[in-house]
Chains A and B, each alone.
Chain A
Amino acid sequence: MIEDDIYRASSQYRLWSYTEPSLQSLRATTNAVASERVRAALRRSREAHQSTATSAAGTPLPESSTEVKNKDEKDVECLTPEEELVLVRYYCEKTLELGETYKPPIPTMVRATAIQYLRRFYLTNSPMTYHPKSIMACALFVATKTDNYYISLRQFADGIPGDTTTEDVIAPEFLLMQGLRFTFDAKASQPPHLPYETAEDLQQGLLSIAPPPVPSSSMSDRIARAHGTTRELLKSAAQMTDAYFLYTPSQIWFSAFLLADRPLAEFLLDVKLGGPVTATIPAPETDENGLVNPLYEIRSKLHHVLTECSALLQSYTPLSSDPAQMKSLKRIAKKLYHCQNPEKVNLAASQKRESTQPSTAAQSDAGIVTSESETERLAKKRKLEQEQKVRQEDDVFGPELVTQRTKQ
């Protein structure tokens, strides 16, 4: 039994590992299906609209209405898979920030799980169908449950800036779990159990190699620095890119380590696997039977994987720190506003409609808001709304990208 066997049994390997082409094609399919459905939904809502309009006027004009329909249909421009990905990534960054607003902050590992949930969910769902803003909060809440960081839904909802209700948070839970194909384990966030799975293990491993190549005090400083940089990369770039869909956790941390301190990482590989892979020594050593040294083969395979993975990690720049990316994000958000599936906008409300029990909303509509808690809640909501107006600018979510409009 080796670690590889254990990893291969994991849901992360079985369900959430892809090649680059398969990942791309899955996203393209998801996007195509969602676009088609958005167009159909918009068509339906327009038809409904028109039929009321025409019946009110009493004079149906079939020809002209068809014309209008065709024209409108052309106007609906859907997001591309690339645009969807940018949007999802932005909300992954927001998830980190949201976790930070709690007191005490939600642990990094729980947030990392939530980010993987978001990324996995949007492999088979489109932001045009379900807005990442609503899925994000739910993903973080579900992650607190699956990662044993207990916090009640009430507490959780109260911690979200703005007036998010418990219903808003929990409404997409089932949908999210379905999108996760009911697998909750995300290796991206796991505690350091497998050897060399994390930066800490790496530090330990390096410190245990004797003798150090340079005097040891400066060496341990250097290792500590490399450890710090590796950790940061694992917390940011590794989470925000497709790394965990494409590589194993140990490949990812080692790639991060390569970026942090290449000579040190190469040194560790030399110690563990022997001989560096360089262009100047192309011919692999063979033994008397003409067999290639298996370590050499492993080393060159590894070299290839680590190079690719490091490049992926290196390609990451946070959206919020890059004006050009933010500009394009705003454009995408505006575009999304027009191609959001109108039938899926308010999940909490649609669930209430489906539910057979009389909802509190119905009661308040009928003007029987009596319970103290309800009154309190409304008072609080008003207060929060007021507060939100005041500090719109320094809200962690930033000012609304597009002014919120009530959709049908």
Chain B
Amino acid sequence: MALSPFGSRSPSMTVHSPNTAIRLRATAAQKSFTEPASAAVSQPVQNGDRELTEQLNIDVRERYVKDKKVGEGTYAVVYVGHLRHDPSSLVAIKKIKVNAEYKDGLAMDAVREVKYLQELKHPNVIALHDVFSSKDQNLSLVLEFLPGGDLEMLIKDSDIHYGVADIKAWMGMLARGVWWCHENFVLHRDIKPNNLLIASDGEVKLADFGLARSFADPLFNMTHQVITRWYRPPELLYGARQYSGAVDIWSMGMVFAELLLRVPFVAGNTDLDQTSKICEAFGTPTEENWPGVSKLPYYIATDKAHLVPLQGRDFFMRQFPTAGPVGADLLMSMCALDPRKRSTAVQCLRHNWWTVEPRPTKNEELPRKSGGTKKMGDDLTRRGGELDEGMFKSAARQLDFGMK
């Protein structure tokens, strides 16, 4: 498998160029010198019909060559491709399908993904190298090529053995990626193992920003219908319309638990089932442990007899012995029911767990698995918030996919 040549940034474009204004100007100037001549003399119609921006777009498109299709979903098709001038520099090209049902122009998933990936440049966030459109007005995203598959693939493969040092390395990369999003005021809103892709050098990358949005102003309502159910925090299950980065931290905690247990920790079959499984596992939210919870729209009070007391540190240590006491403490801080008591991304990164033994595994020594390109293709074509059919087959059959 070829090495991803780019590191985390773009090989060719705008990201690195110190002054794009000048670049743009250069292209523009060149155009103005060549075009009138060619338009008047050689090909009056075709060449004369190109706008400056069209030309820029064509220039970007011409930089890449599509090789083969590696995934197709309802929302997108993914190809592996490479830079025209350098066949060893691989990229993933995600072509967004035009949705005939959606009459309001470019679909929101694509709008969000493009908007946020253009701004978030970080080693633990999938890099967007370029965006271009084809003649039929389809949008193509040139993304970092991540042939290492995803965390889900490693969790589920019983032939893969990994230990707490590996988990620490993966979780560290995830936490840094999430921190960067939050630092840029972006909520990811769909963190789960199959959105955590792995580069050829072992680096974990947060992908799929189809459900992302900027932090809202205080008192501004957002939708609670986000985050794939098993990773969805209790405040969203209760229908909270105002929430914070704490929603992503809960998902991170669920990924952490799943890495330790190698099965999803709370896997509800319906939203209601998810809520009750969370209560069973972590304790029943009440006004005492979560002031204000009873005012959330879908909150249902539990009668006294069925109250599960809030779980303490010993529960986490018992449930997740491999994490060690310090690791269990970090996990607990990510799984606080009350979002105000949950750790922030910065607090997670400042936790002792990262510095106590064992040290996180170096990237090159992390367990890996072949067949990652296909997985990347599948992951990049999935719509936000969907559970993969067939991934946990028994559960999947009973799942309600109407995630609206």
Interface residues of A (CB under 8 A from B): 1, 6, 9-11, 14-15, 17-19, 22-23, 25-26, 29-30, 32-33, 36-37, 40-41, 44, 124-125, 129, 141-142, 145-146, 148, 152-153, 166, 170, 173-175, 177-179, 181-185, 190-191, 193, 343
Contact = CB atoms under 8 A, between A and B. Distances in A.
Contact of B44 (A40, A129, A343): A40
A41 B48 CA distance: 9
Interface in B15-70: 15, 20-22, 24-25, 28-29, 31-32, 35-36, 39-40, 44-45, 48-49, 51-54, 56-57
Which of B32, B51, B185, B216 is packed against the most chain A CB atoms within 10 Å? B51
The 9 closest A-B pairs by CB, nearest first: A182-B131, A184-B115, A153-B104, A29-B28, A173-B105, A124-B52, A18-B21, A22-B21, A179-B53
Contacts of B120: 9
A192 to B, nearest CB: 8
Given A124-B53, A181-B56, A184-B115, A17 B21 contact: yes
A125 B215 contact: no
B133 A184 contact: no
B309 to A, nearest CB: 38
Nearest to B24: A26
A33 B53 contact: no
B213 interface: yes
Contacts of B36: 36
20 contacts: A11-B118, A11-B119, A14-B20, A15-B21, A25-B29, A29-B28, A29-B31, A33-B35, A36-B35, A40-B39, A124-B28, A125-B52, A153-B103, A166-B103, A179-B53, A181-B56, A182-B114, A182-B131, A182-B139, A185-B118
A191 B114 CA distance: 19
Nearest to A109: B217
A210 B381 CA distance: 56
B108 interface: yes
B121 interface: yes
Contacts of B185: 190-191, 193
B121 A9 contact: yes
B214 interface: yes
Interface in B99-141: 103-106, 108, 111, 114-115, 118-121, 131, 133, 137, 139
B183 interface: yes
Given A15-B21, A177-B106, 14 more contacts: A11-B118, A19-B21, A29-B25, A33-B31, A40-B44, A40-B48, A124-B53, A146-B111, A153-B103, A153-B105, A170-B105, A190-B214, A191-B214, A193-B215
Contacts of B270: none
A179 B106 CA distance: 15
B88 interface: no
Interface in B162-198: 183-185
A145 B112 CA distance: 9
A181 to B, nearest CB: 7
B302 interface: no
B14 interface: yes
A214 B394 CA distance: 72
A1 B121 CA distance: 14
A129 B118 contact: no
Contacts of A190: 185, 214
Contact of A10 (B22, B106, B119): B119
A30 B28 contact: yes
A176 B114 CA distance: 14
Contacts of A33: 28, 31-32, 35, 52
A153 to B, nearest CB: 4
B215 to A, nearest CB: 7
Interface residues of B, number: 50
Given A40-B40, A145-B108, A191 B217 contact: yes
A141 B118 CA distance: 20
B104 A170 contact: yes
Given A173-B105, A177-B106, A182 B118 contact: yes
B131 to A, nearest CB: 4
Interface of B: 14-15, 20-22, 24-25, 28-29, 31-32, 35-36, 39-40, 44-45, 48-49, 51-54, 56-57, 103-106, 108, 111, 114-115, 118-121, 131, 133, 137, 139, 183-185, 213-217, 222
B105 A26 contact: no
A152 B103 CA distance: 9
Given A11-B119, A22-B22, A40-B39, A29 B32 contact: yes
A1 to B, nearest CB: 8
Contacts of B103: 153, 166, 170
A345 to B, nearest CB: 15
Contact of B105 (A17, A29, A125, A141): A141
A170 B104 CA distance: 7
B119 A146 contact: no
Contacts of B21: 15, 17-19, 22-23, 26
Nearest to B218: A191
Contacts of B31: 29, 33
Contact of B183 (A6, A22, A23, A40): A6
Nearest to B116: A185
Contacts of A152: 104
Contacts of B56: 124, 181
B132 to A, nearest CB: 8
B18 to A, nearest CB: 10
Nearest to A173: B105
Nearest to A245: B21
A145 B110 CA distance: 11
Given A29-B28, A145-B105, A174 B119 contact: no
Contacts of A178: 53-54, 57, 133
Contacts of B114: 182, 184
Contacts of A185: 115, 118-119
Contacts of B118: 11, 182-185
Nearest to B138: A174
A75 B214 CA distance: 51
Contact of B15 (A14, A18, A37, A173): A14
Contact of A29 (B29, B106, B133, B184): B29
Nearest to B60: A181
B52 A15 contact: no
B269 to A, nearest CB: 30
A179 B31 CA distance: 16
Contacts of A153: 103-105
A145 B214 contact: no
A36 B33 CA distance: 11
Nearest to A141: B105
Contacts of A25: 25, 29
A343 B184 CA distance: 42
Nearest to B115: A184
B64 to A, nearest CB: 15
Contacts of A37: 39, 48
A108 to B, nearest CB: 12
Which of A15, A19, A33, A170 is packed against the most chain B CB atoms within 10 Å? A33
